[in-house]
């Protein structure tokens, strides 16, 4: 009897201690969570400095990166017009993003489809407003560069034959009706984000979106009168590719929105993917054509950077190598075999490089995602459902971007017209549309 009483007393004491421990444990956990939340809303100068730098790096990708990359590949008679398409696209995107773009893309979601605009013209967002550990205005500026870059990418498909006024009209409507909704779906709390789609820096939002939209508009625009395309100044294109590679470190690394290990990992795997894709393309060129080409090398580097973009914050170096190799092969096959077979005139292979490498990268993210890096497991780490989620996000982006883009282009064609006159196209757009020339005659 006494033994039983003592045993009961001991058990009661142990239970009491366990309850005290649980209460203290819960309190400490909640305290840590509160502290974490509190810390996340305190300005971090290191994070802010990194995202400031990244914003400038992404700006350099458009101006001068894309401008020189595309300008060097264009014909001499269209070099200024080609560069101008990039400049005007970025400028238009900058204004739209500030007036209403950011608010619709990142506002509180309406049925997962579009954001609710509560801060038109950025009203109510002060210099002390924070987005995590960085100023809200900095986050807005960073995202602005993405919108401008995406619009500028499309121009490579239409060079040498599209009216300048039609291009401006297309970009205004396209940003509003295509880019902003897709950005909300994936990054702004929309239905793809809720579904669990992974896109660290723009595989769907930037590259699939721009590549597929480019395909839609050129199918309506038609082929050029002179389909041959020998770069008039490959040196310009090398310079542009260098700016793109350089700026892409901020494009992907800055998407961590913090100066931390994730940003470092994203930067590292981005460079690895670009390097291995460049080498892969050079090897293919050597095997198929008997010689390596500089154009092939820079095309491979860009394809690798496109492929790694959605995966940069989720994969390790091993995954980056496979993604880089795959991006080079996919883009090479598209440009060499698919384009001639289907007959579409994608002047600078926007669909072949950005669209198809973006599709490969988006799906590959679901295969190679490492839970220790981005917190989400892919197929190789026991989560096959992530691949299906990535496929859904990819198909949704392709269908929406293609259908809406071709509708926009058709309406413009029926009103102000898409294409320049034949005489203007043959003699060159620099002199006819701008009364300027890129070189002294």
Q: Is the peptide bond before 64 cis (omega within 30 degrees of 0)?
A: yes
The angle subtended at Cα 252 by Cα 246 and Cα 253, nearest 5°, is: 85
Mean pLDDT confidence for 179-204: 97
Q: Which residue has the tokens 């199918």?
A: 219
Angle of helix 79-96 relative to helix 136-158, nearest 10 degrees?
150
- pLDDT at position 19 is 47
Span between the terminal Cα atoms of the chain, in Å: 113
Nearby residues of 218 by Cβ (< 8 Å), 6 or more positions away:
157, 158, 344, 345, 346, 347
Nearby residues of 220 by Cβ (< 8 Å), 6 or more positions away:
406, 409, 410, 413, 418
Is residue 102 within 8 A of residue 140, CB to CB? The reply is yes
Mean pLDDT confidence for 305-332: 98
Is residue 172 within 8 A of residue 148, CB to CB? The reply is no
Task: Please check whether the domain covering 47-434 is classified as CATH 1.10.10.10.
Answer: no
Cα distances from 135 to residues 29, 46, 300, 315, in angstroms, run 28, 12, 36, 28
- pLDDT at position 441 is 60
Rg (CA), the chain: 25
Distance CA 380, CA 384 (A): 8
The torsion angles phi and psi of 131, rounded to 5 degrees, stand at: -120, 95
| pLDDT at 10 exceeding the cut of 80 | no
Output 381 or 1, whichever has higher pLDDT: 381
Is residue 132 within 8 A of residue 51, CB to CB? The reply is no
| pLDDT at 6 exceeding the cut of 60 | no
Is residue 85 within 8 A of residue 167, CB to CB? The reply is yes
| pLDDT at 231 exceeding the cut of 60 | yes
- pLDDT at position 410 is 97
| pLDDT at 124 exceeding the cut of 70 | yes
Per-residue confidence at 230, pLDDT binned at 50, 70, 90? confident
- pLDDT at position 21 is 38
Mean model confidence pLDDT for the chain = 91
Q: What is the DSSP letter of 116?
A: E
How far is C-alpha 348 from the geometric centre of its chain's CA atoms? 18
* 376-396 pLDDT per residue, tens: 999 999 999 999 999 999 999
Q: What are the domain boundaries of the chain?
A: 1-40, 47-434
| pLDDT at 228 exceeding the cut of 80 | no
Question: Quick one: what percent of the chain has pLDDT higher than 70?
Answer: 91
Distance CA 384, CA 369 (A): 11
Nearby residues of 142 by Cβ (< 8 Å), 6 or more positions away:
51, 54, 55, 58, 254, 257
The angle subtended at Cα 139 by Cα 138 and Cα 140, nearest 5°, is: 90
| pLDDT at 34 exceeding the cut of 70 | no
- pLDDT at position 33 is 36
Mean pLDDT confidence for 83-107: 97
| pLDDT at 30 exceeding the cut of 50 | no
């Amino acid at each position: 009897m006494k033994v039983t009483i003592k045993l009961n007393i001991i058990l009661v004491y142990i239970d009491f201690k366990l309850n005290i421990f649980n209460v203290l444990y819960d309190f400490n956990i909640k305290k840590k969570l509160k502290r974490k939340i509190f810390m996340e809303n305190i300005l971090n100068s290191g994070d802010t400095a990194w995202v400031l730098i990244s914003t400038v790096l992404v700006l350099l990708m458009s101006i001068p990166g894309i401008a020189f990359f595309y300008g060097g590949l264009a014909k001499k008679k269209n070099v200024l017009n080609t560069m101008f398409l990039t400049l005007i696209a970025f400028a238009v995107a900058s204004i739209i993003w500030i007036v209403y773009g950011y608010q619709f893309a990142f506002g509180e979601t309406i049925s997962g489809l579009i954001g609710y605009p509560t801060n038109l013209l950025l009203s109510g967002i002060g210099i002390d407003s924070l987005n995590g550990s960085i100023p809200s205005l900095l986050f807005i500026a960073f995202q602005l560069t993405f919108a401008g870059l995406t619009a500028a990418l499309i121009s490579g498909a239409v060079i040498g034959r599209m009216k300048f006024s039609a291009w401006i009209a297309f970009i205004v409507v396209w940003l509003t009706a295509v880019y902003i909704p897709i950005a909300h779906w994936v990054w702004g709390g929309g239905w793809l984000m809720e579904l669990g789609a992974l896109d660290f820096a723009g595989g769907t939002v930037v590259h699939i979106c721009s590549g597929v939209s480019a395909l839609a508009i050129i199918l309506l625009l038609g082929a050029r009168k002179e389909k041959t395309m020998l770069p008039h100044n490959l040196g310009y294109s090398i310079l542009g590719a260098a700016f793109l590679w350089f700026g892409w470190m901020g494009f992907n690394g800055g998407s961590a929105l913090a100066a931390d290990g994730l940003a470092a990992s994203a930067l590292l795997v981005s460079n690895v993917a670009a390097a291995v894709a460049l080498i892969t393309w050079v090897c293919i060129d050597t095997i198929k054509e008997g010689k390596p080409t500089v154009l092939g090398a820079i095309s491979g580097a860009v394809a690798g950077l496109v492929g790694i973009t959605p995966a940069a914050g989720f994969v390790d170096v091993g995954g980056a190598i496979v993604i880089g190799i795959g991006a080079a092969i996919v883009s090479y096959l598209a440009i060499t075999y698919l384009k001639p077979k289907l007959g579409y005139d994608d002047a600078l292979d926007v669909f072949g490089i950005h669209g198809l490498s973006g599709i490969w990268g988006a799906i590959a993210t679901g295969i190679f995602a490492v839970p220790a890096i981005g917190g989400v497991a892919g197929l190789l780490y026991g989560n096959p459902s992530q691949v299906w989620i990535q496929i859904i996000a990819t198909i949704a982006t392709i269908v929406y971007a293609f259908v809406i883009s071709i509708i926009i282009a058709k309406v413009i064609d029926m009103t102000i017209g898409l294409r320049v006159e034949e005489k203007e196209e043959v003699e060159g757009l620099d002199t006819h549309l701008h009364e300027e020339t890129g070189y002294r005659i």
